[in-house]
């Protein structure tokens, strides 16, 4: 095997596939990148038995072949080489020889026949989206997936295609994020729960462009296909929350507020609420809505904090406690200038939504009881 490739191309491919490398395994082969040539292309593949990533790049292939090399060592060497063409050869001693200007490295390799094949996808349903649409949908929901393994189904996002609309839903038991978009072409109705880990990697690989990405679903696998990259992942088993039943349809109090003003207010309050003095305890922030204003406050052993901001109000006065991080997570991903924040009673969920998105993004937070 011998090929010559631009460093920039090779780095982009390595950065895309390296997240499919297993970080905890007793199988050294899963710590490697499978390198395969095919005419004037090379394909890099990684697979940790749950997430598999393939990336194809064009380069000058002088001799066909394949091998497996340790991903960490290979990527770190390539990253630090000069910005020039890189020559890679598998010599007669099965050492991977890397040459670039005055640099020369020889790495041990592993048998490519031992590298596990990515699962074949027997496609049942598929949908095609602009990459920037999918990127935005993931960005606005992924932070609300659960990190608790006791309910594995909530460690992923629900992808639901219904009536030519795609809904992406994340929930962790304390909050819920829902982003919707209408599809440009017709599709069958289907749903699947895709691991949050996979979606984080998909989001890093896809571009903020109108280039297409195709998502296909089989019985227990999902496949994401772009121009020169494929990502295969297992689906999560279990019954997802019937989210439509838990999102309040009405409100008793609504405020309309500048998103940036509210975000900066919560960021300042969080300095007290999340202080390191009592790391084991979590103090909620109290939100009090009165006519024309919102009062946000927190008291603990670190000190007291109180903020007042002007808002437009509808409905009656209300008071409730919330985890400020949950508010901030949503505010950071909302691009609109103004938002609605809807309240029920002090023990009812709170709903945040952009003023101009016509219900396509909804974020729900459960309140926390305030200690007297």
Q: Are residues 9 and 107 in the same domain?
A: yes
Rounded CA-CA distance 271/8 in Å is: 42
Q: Are residues 215 and 295 in the same domain?
A: no
Q: Tens digits of per-residue pLDDT, 177-228?
A: 999 999 988 889 999 999 999 999 999 999 889 999 999 999 899 999 998 9
DSSP code of residue 228? S
Residue position matching structure tokens 């289907």: 190
Q: 279-315 burial, b for 16+ CB within 10 Å, e for fewer? A: eeeebbbbbebeeeebebbbbbebeebebeeebebee
- Whether pLDDT at 29 is above 50: yes
Q: Are residues 44 and 98 in the same domain?
A: yes
Tally the domains of the chain.
3
Does residue 191 contact residue 161 with C-beta atoms inside 8 Å?
Answer: yes
Q: What's the whole-number average pLDDT of the chain?
A: 93
Residue 119 falls inside a structural domain: no
Rounded CA-CA distance 10/254 in Å is: 52
Q: Predicted confidence band at 372 (pLDDT cuts at 50, 70, 90)?
A: low
Q: What are the tokens at 141? A: 């929901």
pLDDT for the residue 129: 94
Residue 236 sits in a domain of what CATH number? 3.10.150.10
pLDDT for the residue 149: 84
Q: Predicted confidence band at 281 (pLDDT cuts at 50, 70, 90)?
A: low
pLDDT for the residue 293: 97
Q: Tens digits of per-residue pLDDT, 109-124?
A: 999 999 999 998 999 9
Which positions ≥6 away from 284 have C-beta within 8 Å?
Answer: 273, 298, 321, 322, 323, 324, 367, 368, 369, 370
Residue 120 falls inside a structural domain: no
Q: Are residues 311 and 328 in the same domain?
A: yes
Task: Tell me the percentage of the chain whose pLDDT exceeds 70.
Answer: 98
Closest by Cα among 69, 60, 79 to 15: 79
φ and ψ at residue 276, rounded to 5 degrees: -85, 0
Q: Tens digits of per-residue pLDDT, 169-187?
A: 999 999 999 999 999 888 8
Q: Are residues 211 and 265 in the same domain?
A: no
pLDDT for the residue 25: 84
**Residue numbers of the domain that contains 16:** 2-114
**Mean pLDDT confidence for 25-46:** 95
Q: Are residues 93 and 164 in the same domain?
A: no
Rounded CA-CA distance 100/10 in Å is: 13
Q: Are residues 168 and 214 in the same domain?
A: yes
Helix (H, G, I), strand (E, B) or coil at 308: strand
Closest by Cα among 248, 254, 275 to 366: 248
């Amino acid at each position: 095997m011998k090929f010559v490739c631009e460093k920039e191309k090779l780095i982009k491919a390595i950065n895309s596939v390296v997240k499919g490398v297993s970080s905890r395994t007793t199988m050294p082969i899963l710590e490697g990148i499978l390198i395969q040539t095919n005419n004037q292309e090379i394909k890099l593949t990684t697979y940790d038995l749950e997430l598999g990533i393939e990336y194809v790049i064009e380069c000058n292939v002088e001799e066909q072949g394949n091998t497996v090399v340790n991903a960490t060592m290979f990527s770190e060497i390539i990253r630090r080489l000069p910005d020039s063409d890189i020559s890679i050869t598998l010599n007669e001693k099965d050492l991977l020889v890397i040459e670039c200007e005055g640099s020369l490295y020889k790495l041990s390799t592993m048998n490519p026949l031992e590298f596990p094949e990515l699962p074949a996808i027997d496609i049942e349903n598929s949908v095609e989206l602009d990459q920037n649409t999918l990127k935005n949908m993931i960005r606005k929901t992924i932070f609300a997936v659960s990190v608790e393994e006791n309910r594995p189904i909530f460690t992923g996002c629900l992808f639901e295609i219904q009536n030519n609309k795609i809904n992406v839903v994340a929930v962790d038991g304390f909050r819920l994020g829902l982003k919707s978009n209408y599809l440009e072409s017709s599709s069958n109705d289907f749903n699947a729960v895709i691991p949050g880990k996979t979606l984080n990697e998909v989001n890093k690989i896809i571009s903020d462009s109108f280039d297409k990405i195709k998502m296909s679903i089989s019985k227990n696998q999902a496949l994401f296909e772009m121009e020169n990259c494929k990502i295969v992942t297992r689906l999560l088993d279990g019954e997802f929350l019937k989210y439509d039943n838990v999102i309040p349809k009405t409100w008793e109090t609504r405020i309309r507020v500048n998103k940036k003003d509210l975000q900066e207010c919560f960021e300042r309050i969080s300095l007290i609420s999340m202080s390191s003095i009592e790391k084991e305890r979590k103090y909620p922030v109290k939100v009090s809505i009165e006519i024309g204003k919102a009062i946000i406050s927190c008291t603990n052993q670190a000190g007291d904090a109180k903020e007042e901001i002007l808002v437009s109000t509808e409905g009656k006065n209300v008071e409730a406690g919330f985890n400020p991080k949950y508010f901030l997570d949503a505010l950071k991903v909302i691009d609109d200038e103004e938002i609605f924040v809807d309240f029920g009673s002090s023990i009812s969920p709170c709903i945040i939504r952009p003023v101009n998105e016509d219900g396509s993004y909804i974020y729900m937070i459960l309140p926390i009881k305030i200690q007297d």
